[in-house]
Amino acid sequence: MKIEQQVKPENSTQSLLMARLQTEVNHPADIDAATDRLGISPFLINPYLATTVDMSFIGLGRGVNLPIQITARQGGRRSLYFLRPGEKVLASIVATSRGLVLRYVSRETGRSIPAQGGDEYSEEFRDIEGEVLSHCKGKLEILNAAKGEGRLVFPEGSPASKWVWILWSCIAKGDGLLSAE
């Protein structure tokens, strides 16, 4: 199946969820409980830290990366450097002209917290229905330990991002020095 067909602005799953929400919600106070029951709890996104990223490695051109806030609050996530081996988080949501893409990061190896250079991570991009668009494993390269800057280095030719993590993975800048536009 082509990427163009996989990532859709609105899809059947979304339509079904919207219909169920309309049935279950009769007052704004009902929304949180209904989304929890349906397994679509909201995420804490920080639009002030959004960056423009290149998604051409999976055929989606440029997009806007909206990071999930690093926080202990509901809807937030841990810093990618502070994940335990085997732990996976939704790191960000990327808005593209073809729809939303969920970016998950998992720490695969390592013994210390925070992670050290050489620890293995996997990065996975999924469409809103959960279908995997890209999955790659790479090793963490620390660029500035004092400021939490680093990146994942993937095998040559891998269909993977070249993003730099800034502030302990709070911000992801795409393909090196792209800036928010």
Phi and psi at residue 58, in whole multiples of 5°?
-125, 20
Most confident of 9-18, 24-33, 109-118, 172-181: 109-118
CA distances from 20 to 26, 36, 39, 144 (A): 12, 12, 12, 47
Secondary structure (DSSP) of 50-101: -EEEE-GGGT--EEEEEEBPBSSSTT-B--GGGPPTT-EEEEEEEEETTEEE
User: What's the whole-model pTM score?
Assistant: 0.81
- pLDDT for 98 equals 86
**Rounded Cα distance, 176 and 178, in Å:** 6
> What's the pLDDT tens digit per position in 130-181?
899 999 999 999 998 888 888 888 887 776 677 777 777 777 766 533 333 3
- pLDDT for 109 equals 96
At position 165, the amino acid (one-letter code) is: W
- Residue 119 · residue 109 · CB < 8 Å: yes
Three-state secondary structure call for residue 146: helix
104-125 mean pLDDT: 95
DSSP H/E element including 16: helix 12-24
